[in-house]
Structure 1
Amino acid sequence: MYDEPKVTNPRNPDPWLALELDQSLPMDKEAKAALLRGQRGWSRRLLLPLVRPIAKLGIIFVQLLRLVMPERWQSPNLLHKTIYLGLKYFVSPDANRLILRHFNIGTEILAFTADNMGSVDIETTQPLRPKSLEDLLGNTFLIHDLNVFNFIIELNSRVSFEKISPKSLEEIDFSSISTEPFEFSELPDKWHNFLDLQTAIEIYTPLYALLLSDRDFWRASNSLQLDETVAIYIARIFGDSLHLSLVHNGHPTVPFSTLEAGFRLMLHGLDAECLHGYLRDRKIEQTIHNCRENTCD
């Protein structure tokens, strides 16, 4: 990130400088810096335009293959082993760090929502707190998708949404939200760890289609649109819908084609970072407010 103002040519402004200086999104600074490094790197600029059409053709091919494959055909363990090896040997440290962050912040967002909608104890979700790439081998990606759907089903089975009244900032329970950086194990950083996050996602998407059941792949693809659903719950808690403008994946009532899953997964990651950043900022605001009220140091 740029720490000091840079001299820039008004006739030829640097678009990446503009994005780095922009403060419209409540993202963690390090996460934003890691994302932008990948977005402006040579891997995304040169490889992504080649990989994306091939990946979409791969998804179409798998969908056609599904017409003759046994319905029970799936191998989530092989999928996660393949993803793990790809992350370890080809994906950049920035991208790997963002992936590990995603599972941690997703767990915190769901926990926050449950804590503040009647203190519901959600029993069907499994907290995901990976600290290393090895932690992803336990079907973490698949469990992440199942968690969101199970969360919504169980939450709405126990809570009447219409009866949830907005809370004051002092009443909101932020105990599930971290304000300190997540600590991860040292990530691979060799000459062959060059793939940016978006290109890697496009490569892995056809593998999802092939190695998960058709139902699991469809569910994984459409779970990406549940960002808006969770954001609506959070809006109800705060009585403030401003942060809904940070969500861009659309409501899952009208699902997108699975061919767009790779791009929408990037949007999903951005949505999650913005929602978590919003909650982190509100927690800090609550702490400052309470400190002033109690005249603490």
Structure 2
Amino acid sequence: MDPVEQLINQPHDPRDPDPWVAMFLDRSLPMNERTKAALLVDQRSRSRQFLLPVMRPVARLSIILFQVVKLFIPNRFTSSKLLHRLLAWGLKVWVSPEANFLILRHFHVGSEILDFIARNAKELNVPTQPIRPTNLEHVKDEIFLQHDLNLFNFVIRLNQALREQGRTLAPPAQLDFSGISDEFPLEPLPHRWTNFLDLQSAIEVFTPVYQLFLTDRDFWRASNSLQLDETIAIYVATLMQAPGLVALVNNRHPLVPLSTMRAGFRLVLHGLSAESMHAFLVECKHGRMPQLARIVAPGLRAPSPEAA
């Protein structure tokens, strides 16, 4: 059943209200409806309830062990291509359709947020490399690694251009939302009896595998890229003159990297922040101002519907 229908058709018992339905119906934060439903259905799954508490300590212990192993054989058995083939197989066979939907959608969302910044700072001529997978076979194109590279390359190129031109990032005269999409063309995802693993459990399982098959430098960069959420949010907030937008971000303090031990949980927060940011841009694109009014600081100009 469609995740939206699962939550909407849930009977309401005032003496035993469903917390997942309450969170789905709440509209205090912007988020695509289908995405929010997929996230909540995934969160309330038995896999997350019973498997995650067991998998998490095992996965974190594996990260420690692999870190020790890599002290002696740092790059001998690394292979990004093999890693992504394993990830594609694992996602296709074991991971739930809701989790796979959220994973594939994340690459589109991340690409469009960077594109929005680049479009609204055209004078800087910052190139982007959008990642737009439509099915799990596209994972084999090393898109997880490329996603991390895109983030750091974008930040470096943007700020190099600002430095060379002796300027700071500033709002444009008119905001360009033409690169923001309402939906993404994702193909039907596997829905066999083996596809039961929730998003957080899958991330916890795949994180040590990710570490094992990548170089130590690639793994640390992937982990630290999660803290760029605050940086990217500040760029968007600056362009839109909406400083309160940074409140949507949960991963913060990029100058003080956190341990890789919590990378799995932080990756889920990273996805949530990106979805909220993208949904905010969709709202603004269509001139739906109620969400914007709650986030833009008083006294600052909000983008007009005409600018959308």
Q: With structure 2 as the length reference, what TM-score do the two structures score? A: 0.88
Question: Compared with structure 1, are the counterparts of its residues 103 and 291 closer, same or farther at alpha carbon in structure 2 (3 Å cutoff)?
Answer: closer
Deviations 1:184-228 (A, max 9, x none): 122111111111111101000001110000000000000011011
Is contact 2:175–2:307 with CA below 8 Å preserved after alignment?
Answer: no
Task: State the 1:167 CA deviation.
Answer: 4.1
Counterpart residue number, 2:28: 24
The alignment status of 1:101 with 2:105, answered yes or no, reads yes
Is contact 1:56–1:259 with CA below 8 Å preserved after alignment?
Answer: yes
The alignment status of 1:289 with 2:308, answered yes or no, reads no
Q: Distance in 2 between matches of 1:227 and 1:162?
A: 23
Task: State the 1:72 CA deviation.
Answer: 5.3
Is contact 1:228–1:244 with CA below 8 Å preserved after alignment?
Answer: yes
- Equivalences for 1:20-59 in 2 at 5 Å? 20-59=24-63
- SS of the aligned residue for 1:127 comes to coil
Is contact 2:12–2:18 with CA below 8 Å preserved after alignment?
Answer: no
Task: State the 1:248 CA deviation.
Answer: 0.2
2:274 maps to amino acid: A
| Larger deviation, residues 15-24 vs 247-256 | 15-24
In the alignment, structure 2 segments of 5+ residues that lack a partner are: 289-302
Is contact 2:121–2:172 with CA below 8 Å preserved after alignment?
Answer: no
Counterpart residue number, 1:144: 147
Q: Distance in 2 between matches of 1:266 and 1:97?
A: 13
Counterpart residue number, 1:63: 67
Is contact 1:117–1:159 with CA below 8 Å preserved after alignment?
Answer: no
Question: Compared with structure 1, are the counterparts of its residues 190 and 217 closer, same or farther at alpha carbon in structure 2 (3 Å cutoff)?
Answer: same
Q: Distance in 2 between matches of 1:5 and 1:71?
A: 51
Q: Distance in 1 between matches of 2:90 and 2:241?
A: 43
Is contact 2:8–2:21 with CA below 8 Å preserved after alignment?
Answer: no
162, 168, 177: which one aligns with 1:163 = 168
Q: Distance in 1 between matches of 2:242 and 2:19?
A: 31
Q: Distance in 2 between matches of 1:289 and 1:111?
A: 20
Task: State the 1:6 CA deviation.
Answer: 5.8
91, 115, 138: which one aligns with 1:135 = 138
Task: State the 1:9 CA deviation.
Answer: 2.6
Question: Compared with structure 1, are the counterparts of its residues 165 and 250 closer, same or farther at alpha carbon in structure 2 (3 Å cutoff)?
Answer: same
Deviations 1:211-254 (A, max 9, x none): 00000000000001101100000111011112111100112101
Q: Distance in 2 between matches of 1:110 and 1:23?
A: 25
Question: Compared with structure 1, are the counterparts of its residues 121 and 73 closer, same or farther at alpha carbon in structure 2 (3 Å cutoff)?
Answer: farther
Task: State the 1:119 CA deviation.
Answer: 4.2
Task: State the 1:126 CA deviation.
Answer: 2.2
Q: Which has the higher contact order (CA 8 A, sep 6+)?
A: 1
Q: Distance in 1 between matches of 2:213 and 2:274?
A: 26
The alignment status of 1:230 with 2:232, answered yes or no, reads yes
Q: Distance in 2 between matches of 1:5 and 1:89?
A: 29
The alignment status of 1:176 with 2:176, answered yes or no, reads no
Counterpart residue number, 1:295: none
Q: Distance in 2 between matches of 1:240 and 1:289?
A: 15
- SS of the aligned residue for 2:124 comes to coil
Task: State the 1:136 CA deviation.
Answer: 1.1
In the alignment, structure 1 segments of 5+ residues that lack a partner are: 293-297
Q: Distance in 2 between matches of 1:223 and 1:70?
A: 21
250, 253, 260: which one aligns with 1:251 = 253
Is contact 2:285–2:305 with CA below 8 Å preserved after alignment?
Answer: no
2:158 maps to amino acid: L
Q: With structure 1 as the length reference, what TM-score do the two structures score? A: 0.91
The alignment status of 1:117 with 2:121, answered yes or no, reads yes
1:165 maps to amino acid: A
Task: State the 1:176 CA deviation.
Answer: 1.0
Task: State the 1:24 CA deviation.
Answer: 1.8
Is contact 1:167–1:239 with CA below 8 Å preserved after alignment?
Answer: no
Give the superposed CA RMSD: 2.1
Q: Distance in 1 between matches of 2:104 and 2:38?
A: 13
